[in-house]
Structure 1
Amino acid sequence: MLKPIILGLLMTASSVAGLALADDAKPAEAKTEAAAAPAADAKPADAKFDPGVPAPKVADDYYAGAEKVVVHVTMEGDEKKYLGVLGNISNYIKALDQTGKKTDAIIVMNGDGLGLLTTAKQVEMNADAKLPAKIAELKEKGVKFQVCYNTLTGRKIKFEDLYDAKAEDVIPSGVAEAGRLQSQGYQLLKP
């Protein structure tokens, strides 16, 4: 019984020694070049992560019918949570862009969902705030941000307390608007 264990240890030791010998067998100049040059698999900190599987290929019509989307935001959150919602929208747009489709995206906010714009307004002057920049980025891509008038009046939220909102962004009812957009062929996404 002890014999197989000892034999296994000897085999492991000899393979480690073999690796060390193989490394020592390299010419001296190759060792110094390898030490001076960064490893081939070393990547800068900002390099894209490789999950170990290639990105899936999709046909041009893969997202057919998904070009129109309404994202109904009603949840309470903080900057991090709202950034997650906006990150999902960015990913949605990117996925469709890769197939040549352009996204018509509308974010409808009511109830606690207005926190997305009030939080952005509260943090906009902070040097490390990311939410206002993400909203601006999505607006540049054509994403519309719609604000529920019922929520403004019911919760006594001043329009000036919303980040980058305009009068034309205000809709009568967020819930009704989400339903109206669905009847026009928009796909409903609920974060």
Structure 2
Amino acid sequence: MRIYFIFFFFALLSFQAEAQVVSTAKHQIVFQLTAGDSITHMRFIRQLENILEAAPNARIEVITHGMGVDLLQTESNLFDSKLLALQEAGINFIVCENTLKQRKLKKESFFDWSGFVQSGIVELVIKQEQGWIYIKAGE
């Protein structure tokens, strides 16, 4: 009886691991994040984790502007370890410099692995022109 349980357990584990991967294609996905609230950020992070499980070869870039840049500020960040894990998994997080100017924020207040572009909107346009799939995150 115990042998059957062990066999069943390992069969179940291998099935679950296989069931999680939906696509092995090299998708290119660019997200636009403008929401600044922590509940939206928490849900968005979970979506990113889900995508990495379902499509482990996907290239993902997150363009933040407006209040969305708050996701990447270091001070009192509730998600720093999860964001670092996502960044280490290959997700690029980008901050709009126009937003920094408008909100009088300094680059030094963001994670050192954050990328910066002059215009978040123009970066989204460029990515779409290059064939990236666009998804509006949050709200």
Query: What TM-score, normalized to structure 1?
Result: 0.57
| Unmatched runs of 5 consecutive residues or more in structure 2 | 1-15
Deviation at 1:122, TM superposition (A): 2.0
| Unmatched runs of 5 consecutive residues or more in structure 1 | 1-53
| Aligned-partner Cα distance in 1 for 2:40–2:82 | 13
State how 1:30-45 maps to structure 2 within 5 Å: none
Matched with 2:111 is: 163
| Aligned-partner Cα distance in 2 for 1:184–1:155 | 30
More strand by share: 2
| Aligned-partner Cα distance in 2 for 1:152–1:165 | 16
Deviation at 1:163, TM superposition (A): 2.7
Matched with 2:31 is: 71
**2:55 pairs with 81, 96, 121, which one?**
96
Name the amino acid aligned to 1:174.
G
Name the amino acid aligned to 2:108.
E
The number of equivalent residue pairs is 122
RMSD: 2.5
Q: Percent identity?
A: 25
Deviation at 1:164, TM superposition (A): 3.0
The runs of at least 4 aligned residues of structure 1 exceeding 4 Å deviation read 54-58, 62-66
Q: Does 1:189 align with 2:135?
A: yes
Matched with 1:174 is: 120
Q: Assess if the C-alpha contact under 8 Å between 2:24 and 2:55 holds in 1.
A: no
State the structure with bigger RCO (CA 8 A, min sep 6), 1 or 2: 2
Matched with 1:105 is: 60
Q: Assess if the C-alpha contact under 8 Å between 1:108 and 1:148 holds in 2.
A: yes
Query: What TM-score, normalized to structure 2?
Result: 0.76
Q: Structure 1, residues 66-86: CA drift from partner, whole Å, max 9, x if none?
A: 7100011011212x4312111
**1:133 pairs with 66, 81, 90, which one?**
81
